Amino acid sequence: MTVSVQTAAEALTELVGAANCTVAAQDKRPYLTDYRGIFHGEAMVVVTPVSTQQVGDVVSWCYRHDVPVVPQGGNTSLMGGAVPDDTGTAVVISLRKLNRVLSVDVVNDTMTVQAGVTLAAAREAAENAQRLFPLRIGSEGSCQIGGNVSTNAGGTAVLRYGNMRDLVLGIEVVLPDGRIYSSLKGLRKDNTGYDLKQLFIGAEGTLGIVTAVVLKLAPQPRATAAAFIAVKNPHAAVALLQAAKIGSGNAVSAFELVSAPALELVLDYLGDAKSPLQHAHEWMVLMELTSGGTDEALHAALLDILELGFAEGLIEDAAIAASLADIQAFWRIREDISDAQTRAGGSIKCDVSVPISRIADFIDAASAEVLALDPEIRLVIYGHLGDGNVHFNPLRPRDQQAAEFLARHYRVVSETVDGLAHREHGSISAEHGIGVVKRDDLRKYKSEVELQLMWQVKRALDPKNLLNPGRVLPEPDDPCAIH
């Protein structure tokens, strides 16, 4: 069945109202391109429903008329997962108007929020209730909870609090045929069969559209201490991490690796920031400790860890944050590396994870292989060493254009880095998801049985393949093998 733009616009306007239904090209534009301007698509109509029921009505209409649906949150995906393809046949459903914090239960330590609440607003709502919502990622001002859930977002606090998957207790989802599955329970124990909510977390909108969730809150830490530390190499960083976890009584809340090219790039981008360290070093770590104790005790623990690190030859230098402003300045440097890369252009983003015990060897091996291609490639390596996830992002040599660099090296670099991670029993997408970018690579890195299971789940829930089609799942080699 082919539906015309006019038919779709009229029917959807009827369901959500003219103010929530966009057909004009210039108004649709922000929804058809990702925030980095890399992925572009087309859509018949963009709708911005104001209730779960409206989302259900729109999806139900699309199901009955065989119209593909692309759900969209803050559109900050790095993998092209939230932008429609270029056929112009889809309806984009933006969740941005489902932006209410529905309730905060301070006794249960939970918060119920709609999908379109930004991560920053969710964190603020928790803070207003003297609680912490611990998910922390650089795009918090734009990314939305529904997108965080759908991509199982990670970020800088995973080593302490887990991924989004660990922070969701209840969920409300619009299914591909428009039915609403609502289980907004704030339970930490519920063994009543399959944990259905987990199916939708990390599914990138291919199995249903998340409209609301119950989030787990944590007590706010009372004390925070941070240091920007020059380490000898990634092996030393891993040894320091172990010492810090033990020495602080498990108070490490972030442990972020930064390579020299990553620091140079971000300082150049920021313009007004300078390195916390006096001299240049090859490798650095931003370590943060938080606890429910006193600032004095936490600072003493930090000093002990640094002293041990110096004594064991792991650390070359360290800057300790003397104030909240210092801590914020450290984080600004770390969190803006991603934007610095976007501006520089010509980055090959590899978001890999391996067991922490293997990460230093992995970095050595991947660095050697990439530099063998061209020693002028800048190894922008940074990220969440504390949970085994690094962003290993080779950047074009200074005198090479982005297009030339990517044409020459994109495929071989991604295959090399992902292949090495896979050999270390790692993941080729630790936290950014699959979208369209890594979809076909799954064929190589998932077993046949895994891919068959993924398709069986997809077909059971979305038999017409209408929800975010072409994302996450590679076309099966043998469609008959999937029943």
Residue 355 CB coordination number (10 Å): 11
CB of 144 to ligand MLT, least distance (A): 16
Query: Which residue's CB comes closest to ligand MLT?
Result: 338
Q: Give 62 or 287: the residue with its C-beta nearer to ligand MLT.
A: 287
Binding mask 179-218 for ligand MLT (x = CB under 6 A): ----------------------------------------
Q: How far is the CB of 276 from ligand MLT (least distance, A)?
A: 18
Cβ neighbours of residue 400 closer than 8 Å, sequence gap 6 or more: 346, 376
> Are the beta carbons of 305 and 288 closer than 8 angstroms?
no
Nearest Cα to 168, choosing from 127, 119, 220, 112?
Answer: 112
Strand 101-105 relative to strand 69-72, pairing: unpaired
Residues 446 and 216: beta-carbon distance below 8 Å: no
Q: How far is the CB of 377 from ligand MLT (least distance, A)?
A: 18
CA distances, 245 to each of 159, 239, 274 (Å): 10, 10, 28
Q: Which of 305, 314, 248 is nearest to 281 (CA)?
A: 314
From 77, 338, 353, 429, residue interacting with ligand MLT (rule: CB under 6 A): 338
259 interacts with ligand MLT by CB under 6 A: no
Q: Which is nearer to ligand MLT, 78 or 370 (CB)?
A: 78
Residues 290-329, one symbol each (x = binds ligand MLT by CB under 6 A, - = not), give ----------------------------------------
Structure tokens at 297: 């005790």
Q: How far is the CB of 148 from ligand MLT (least distance, A)?
A: 12
Tokens of 211: 């409209």
Q: Is 446 exposed, middle or buried (0-12, 13-18, 19+ CB in 10 A)?
A: middle
Report if residue 138 touches ligand MLT, rule: CB under 6 A: yes
User: How many residues touch ligand MLT (CB under 6 A)?
Assistant: 6
Q: Which of 391, 409, 439, 458 binds ligand MLT (CB under 6 A)?
A: 391
**Beta carbon nearer to ligand MLT, 120 or 482:** 120
Cβ closest to ligand MLT, residue 339 vs residue 369: 339
Nearer to ligand MLT, 56 or 155 (CB): 155
To the nearest 10°, report the CA torsion of 208, 209, 213, 216.
Answer: 70
Percent helix, percent strand, percent coil in the chain, to nearest 5: 40, 20, 40
Q: Which is nearer to ligand MLT, 387 or 424 (CB)?
A: 387
Nearer to ligand MLT, 165 or 459 (CB): 165
383 binds ligand MLT (CB under 6 A): yes
Q: Is 433 in the site for ligand MLT (CB under 6 A)?
A: no
* Smallest gap from residue 132 Cβ to ligand MLT (A): 19
Q: Please report how close the Cβ of residue 338 comes to ligand MLT at its closest, in angstroms.
A: 3
Query: Which residue, 405 or 455, is less far from ligand MLT as judged by CB?
Result: 405
For 176, counting Cβ atoms within 10 Å of its Cβ (0-12 exposed, 13-18 middle, 19+ buried), the class is buried
Is residue 136 involved in binding ligand MLT (CB under 6 A)? no
Query: Which of 63/331 has CB closer to ligand MLT?
Result: 331
**Between residues 15 and 143, which has the closer beta carbon with respect to ligand MLT?**
143
> Which amino acid, residue 229?
I
| DSSP calls for 380-412 | EEEEEGGGTEEEEEEE--TTS-HHHHHHHHHHH
State the minimum distance, in angstroms, from the CB of residue 152 to ligand MLT.
Answer: 13
Site for ligand MLT in 49-88 (CB under 6 A): 78
Residue 192 has what DSSP assignment?
Answer: S
Please, which residue, 337 or 352, has the CB nearer to ligand MLT?
337
Query: Residue 133: phi, psi to the nearest 5?
Result: -100, 110
Label residue 199 exposed, middle or buried (CB < 10 Å: 0-12, 13-18, 19+): middle
Give me the least distance between CB of 162 and ligand MLT, in Å please. 16
Q: CB 381 → ligand MLT: shortest distance, Å?
A: 11
- Positions in the binding site for ligand MLT (CB under 6 A): 78, 138, 337-338, 383, 391
